[in-house]
Each structure stands twice: as C-alpha cells, then as structure tokens.
C-alpha cells in the first residue's frame, strides 16, 4: 500500500451564517484520478398545517429546503489518502482515499436498510467505525423511510457523518427511496444503474426497484430490459477483472418465508451471473444477514442497518451457508487473488467468515 498522505484544501463556497450543513461532506464518484466532494445546505424550510377546524389534532408538517453543493477534484494520485476542508470551517473536513490500482490491496463495507429505528442505525454505524474506516462504502438501499421526505435525509446524514466524511460512497436505490429526485440531487451524477472499478475488482450497481422505476407496466418492462442489456454488456466487458460484484437492493433468494418468490426479475438474472463469473451479489431489502452459494456465485444479504428485523424462517437449504436474524454489516478485504469476507453483528460478533478467490477469465 502506498503510504503517501497529502493535505488538500478545497476552496469552496462560504456558507452563510443563517444556513447550516445538514449532509456531508461526503465523497462520490471516486476514481484513481478524481473525486467529487458533496455537502447539503439547509437554506430554509416550509411548514404547513390544515386550516381551521381541520387542524385539530394534527401536527404541522415540516419540509426543509436544501441546496446541494459539490466540487470535483482532478489530477489526483491513485491509492492515496487526501485530507480536505470545506470553506475553511475547521469542523467541516474529512479525508478520502482514491481508488486502488489492480496491484494494491483495498477494503470496503456493505450494508443497507437503515431507514427506521435511528438509535439502532447509530449503533450499527458505531460498530462499523470501530472496525476501521473502509476505503469505500457499498450501500444496498433504503437509506430513509421515504426518499421524497426532505425531513428524513438530515437524520441519515447525521448518523453516518463520521463514516461518510472519510470513505467514498457508492449507493444503490432501494424501494423506500421511491426513485425520488432527492436521491439524484444528493448523489449527483449517480444514475439508476452504473458501474465502477476499484483495484482489481469491478462493481455493477443496478436498480432492482422496478415498482418505482416508471409509471406504467410498459415503461417498467422497457426499463428492466434496457438495464438487463446494459448489465450483460458490462459484465462481458470486464472478464479480465479478478472480481466482479453485482449490487442491488432486492435479492434473488431469501430465507424470509413471506417474501419468497417476490423478486422473480432478480432470480432470472442468476444464469447471467454464472455465465459471466460474478464473484458475489451484494443485496439488502431483507432485514437480517443471509449468505448463499450457488454454482460458484456467492449471494449476500446485508440488510441489517437499523430497520425492524425479519425472521429467517425458511432458508433454501440446498444453497444455504449462513442466516441470522440480527443487525449487521459486511467487511471485505481484497488482496490480490483473495477477497476475505467478514459479516459482523451489531454487538461486534463475527457472524460469518469466508474467502472468495479471483477468477479473471
């Protein structure tokens, strides 16, 4: 690992005294040479309440107004940690590491479904940070209960502040984001599906939430067909990578009896995963930990970020590796041809541990 630590001061827009940062700073679209620093400013708010007698027993609705600021840093050096400061404010700073080269080791974490039980979400992130700040975060969706509700996003960003100001963030859409504009505003340049490289690994992030992807069945079917074509082309073009990871919110398999068969569009992708030697699929949606292995592909569900837990009452036994009903996150350390996975519970226990070996074709 290249042990070069540089300090980079970003001269960004000064923040007015009557405005406050309610999100970030955080890093998106990080590559070996570039990184985008984003922060969210609350510039005002609207409150509304039913008029006259209709207001009896109703609390006022609050909707803050946000301004999203960003700047893209270029000319960076691969596998290097940079410190940054926003607008000269000592408390608004952080650091990030640029993407590794194929020869460099790296690490990342996977988690999702933080949307409710904010105190539990806070405990999960606290335990995650205790295990060391990763190079980057893979978020499997459902960051908030309703992605169109402006009042919820500052809660998410406040809980995640210590992590996100120091690690690159690669999100995916969950069904509770509702494909809302806030998602695209807060993570500018992040499409509904996209891919990125880090070290000797390739990541394809897709939008599995067909229900919110379009208004009509015809449009939803067209979206899924287009995204599926893109995914196959993406995987086919990256066979030289040691690892290929697919990230989505909805899993193709589950131990939650009431949800089995709910995601046929994802289950239908598994032959493609096998054909193009996907190392692992990384999912959320089910609020627990699940690990399956089928025809050489690992399937992980790390949906224990804070939302109410679901039972793991009917796991598919023929592919079962481990299931447990507990809040969790997954830490992954990649070094050459070995990727070490460690699923960690909210109480610090190791739930599951295994290695995946590189499979460049």
Return the pLDDT at 43: 84
Q: Got the DSSP string for 129-164?
A: HHT---SEEEE-S--SS-TT-TTTHHHHHHHTHHHH
Q: What average pLDDT score do residues 8-19 get?
A: 46
Return the pLDDT at 258: 92
Return the pLDDT at 343: 98
With 50 as the cut, is the pLDDT of residue 11 above it? no
Query: Smallest Cα–Cα separation from 308: which of 256, 239, 234, 233?
Result: 256
Q: Which CATH number fits domain 103-357: 3.40.50.12780, 3.30.460.80, 3.60.21.10, 1.10.10.10?
A: 3.60.21.10
The sign of the CA dihedral 121, 127, 133, 138 is negative
Strand partners, 254: none
Cα 184 to Cα 207: distance, rounded to the nearest angstrom: 13
219 touches 192 (CB < 8 A): no
Q: In this predicted model, what pLDDT tens digit does every residue of 35-67 receive, in sequence order?
A: 999 999 988 888 887 776 555 566 778 888 899
Q: In this predicted model, what pLDDT tens digit does every residue of 104-117 receive, in sequence order?
A: 999 999 999 999 99
Confidence of residue 2 (pLDDT cuts 50, 70, 90): very low
Return the pLDDT at 89: 58
Domain boundaries, the chain: 5-50+59-95, 103-357
Q: In this predicted model, what pLDDT tens digit does every residue of 250-272 receive, in sequence order?
A: 999 999 999 998 999 999 999 99
How many Cα atoms within 13 Å fall on the side-chain side of residue 103? 3
């Amino acid at each position: 690992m290249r042990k070069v630590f540089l300090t980079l001061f970003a001269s960004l827009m000064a923040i007015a005294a009557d405005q406050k940062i309610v999100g970030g700073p955080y890093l998106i679209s990080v590559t070996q040479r570039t990184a985008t620093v984003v922060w969210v400013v609350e510039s005002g708010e609207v409150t509304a309440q039913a008029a006259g007698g209709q207001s009896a027993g109703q609390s006022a609705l609050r909707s803050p107004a946000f301004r999203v600021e960003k700047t893209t840093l270029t000319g960076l050096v691969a596998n290097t940690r940079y410190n940054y400061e926003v607008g000269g404010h000592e408390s608004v700073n952080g650091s990030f590491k640029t993407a590794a080269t194929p020869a460099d080791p790296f690490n990342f974490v996977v988690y999702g479904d933080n949307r409710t039980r904010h105190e539990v979400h806070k405990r999960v992130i606290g335990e995650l940070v205790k295990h060391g700040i990763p190079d980057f975060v893979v978020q499997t969706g459902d960051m908030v209960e309703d992605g169109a509700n402006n009042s919820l996003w500052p809660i998410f960003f406040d809980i995640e502040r210590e992590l996100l100001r120091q690690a690159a963030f690669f999100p995916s859409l969950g069904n509770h984001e509702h494909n809302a504009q806030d998602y695209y505003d807060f993570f500018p340049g992040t499409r509904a599906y996209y891919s990125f490289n880090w070290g000797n690994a390739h990541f394809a992030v897709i939008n599995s939430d067909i229900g919110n992807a379009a208004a009509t069945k015809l449009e939803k079917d067209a979206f899924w067909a287009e995204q599926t074509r893109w995914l196959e082309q993406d995987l086919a073009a990256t066979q030289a990578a040691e690892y290929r990871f697919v990230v989505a919110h909805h899993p193709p398999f589950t131990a939650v009896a009431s949800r089995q068969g709910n995601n046929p569009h994802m289950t239908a992708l598994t032959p493609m995963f096998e054909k193009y030697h996907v190392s692992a699929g990384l999912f959320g949606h089910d609020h627990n930990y699940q690990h399956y292995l089928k025809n050489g592909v690992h399937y992980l569900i790390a949906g224990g970020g804070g939302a109410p837990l679901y039972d793991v009452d009917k796991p598919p036994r023929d592919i079962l590796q481990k299931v447990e009903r507990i809040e969790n996150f997954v830490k992954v350390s990649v070094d050459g041809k070995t990727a070490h996975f460690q699923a960690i519970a909210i109480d610090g226990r190791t739930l599951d541990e295994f290695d995946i070996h590189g499979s460049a074709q």
